[in-house]
Amino acid sequence: MFEFDQYLGFLAFLTILTIGFWLMIFLLTFVIPYWIGGSLIERLKEMREEKKAKRKA
């Protein structure tokens, strides 16, 4: 059915496909929400500082 080099190529393909799948799962469930949450917190801090500056002025 397969020769040895075809078998190794197929295993390499499956390995790369699996790594890509788990990387996408990791990015979508942890990294992107963390990034969005951090940017929202920073924006809220900036808005609070602007309000404080307006009150003092």
pTM confidence score: 0.68
Buried residues in 26-35 as b, exposed as e (16+ CB within 10 A): eeeeeeeeee
On whether the CB atoms of residues 41 and 34 are closer than 8 A, the answer is no
For 23, what's the count of Cα atoms within 13 Å in the CB-facing half-sphere? Answer: 6
pLDDT in tens, 7-45: 999 999 999 999 999 999 999 999 999 999 999 999 999
Rounded to whole angstroms, the Cα distance separating 32 from 30 reads: 6
Residue 2's pLDDT band, with cuts at 50, 70 and 90, is: confident
pLDDT at site 43: 98
